Chain A
Amino acid sequence: MNKAFIVIIALCFLYACHNTTFVQGKRYYTDLCASCHMEDGTGLVALIPSLQNSEYLKNEQAKLPCIIRKGIPDTSFVAMPAYKDLTAYEIANIINYINSSFGNNIGPQTINQIEARLTACD
């Protein structure tokens, strides 16, 4: 077979993979979070915080695993729910998806970091 052809196919796969990073995290986000924070991360005015270009995400990485597992108590109208049954891996998928989406450009958290942070908040 033609070598160039193989290279092109390989590049296509690479590109496809690159484009679908955190595909699992995106699925969890769509299922669990998008009903409030919206598909595009814009949230709902002053009621539900936007996750776009988020200062919170930039500054509070250490808190993320805990707020996903524990939620945030109802301070006004809608409460941020607690996702008690998500595993550390699932939480990692979600965090790494939002860290790299909605204009956020924050590096991923490792599974070790997340497990340590979850132990600290339990």
Chain B
Amino acid sequence: MNRLGIPLAILLLGFFYACQETQVQALPKIGNMEINGKDTLFHTIPEFSFVDQDSNVVTNETLSEYIYITDFFFTSCPSICPVVMKNMITIHEAFKDHEKVLLVSHTIDPKRDTPTHLKRYAANLGVDQTKWKFLTGDKDALLDMADEYFVVAIEDPEAPGGFDHSGKIILTDTNGHIRAFCEGTDADEVKQFIPKVNQLLKEYE
């Protein structure tokens, strides 16, 4: 019994430590950081101005009260977008009644995806459009914005639908810091992403 005692104690401590760690760890701020004197500057979404499906202008100011979940897509996309959209709908269902959470989908094909077109698309998805903005605007500004969220999005005539892009889903806090992301094509990753949104919400309680 005595010989078992020490390993048992170590095991117990291990469990204790494992539990503690998951409780206290905050979501990281993702991206390069800069140390400036005694301030640490985290990667921050820069100023932007786009237009939503109701032709309302949407800027950083519009989103500053919200934590928001972003992706990049286009309505005629034949490759990964339908699966990512399906997973965005799962996230939307989880948070549509939460006043602090918005979904923000950026098109990367503004030529086709005008506000009217996006409005019809959103209606076809049957989602609550007060909680889910579909943004369009200047093409270069949209592609540059994808960069800021670490999403690959480039025009490529060889790619299906004319654009090559990744299906990442990104969580941004009220200060424009990126706090979590997942592969939007992977339902399991999306399942693990949802608790992270809840974890970020706790910071505002």
Contacts and interface: CB of A to CB of B under 8 A. Distances in A.
Interface of A: 35-36, 38, 42, 44-48, 74, 76-79, 81
A38 B125 contact: no
Given A78-B75, A78-B76, A78-B77, A36 B82 contact: yes
Contact of B78 (A36, A38, A44): A36
B82 A48 contact: yes
Interface in B18-77: 75-77
Contacts of B124: 45-47, 76-77
Contacts of B83: 35, 38
B157 interface: no
B75 A38 contact: no
Contacts of A47: 82, 85, 121, 124-125
A77 B126 contact: no
Given A45-B89, A78-B76, A35 B82 contact: yes
B11 interface: no
A44 B75 CA distance: 12
B134 to A, nearest CB: 12
B79 interface: yes
A46 B121 CA distance: 9
A45 B126 contact: yes
Contacts of A42: 86
Contacts of B121: 47, 77
A81 B79 CA distance: 11
A49 to B, nearest CB: 12
Contacts of A77: 75-76, 121, 124
Contact of A35 (B75, B80, B89, B125): B80
A58 B172 CA distance: 45
A35 B79 contact: yes
Nearest to A42: B86
B86 to A, nearest CB: 6
24 contacts: A35-B82, A36-B78, A36-B82, A38-B82, A38-B83, A44-B85, A45-B89, A45-B126, A46-B124, A46-B125, A46-B126, A47-B85, A47-B121, A47-B124, A47-B125, A74-B76, A76-B120, A77-B75, A77-B121, A78-B76, A78-B78, A78-B81, A78-B82, A79-B78
Contacts of B79: 35
Nearest to A44: B82
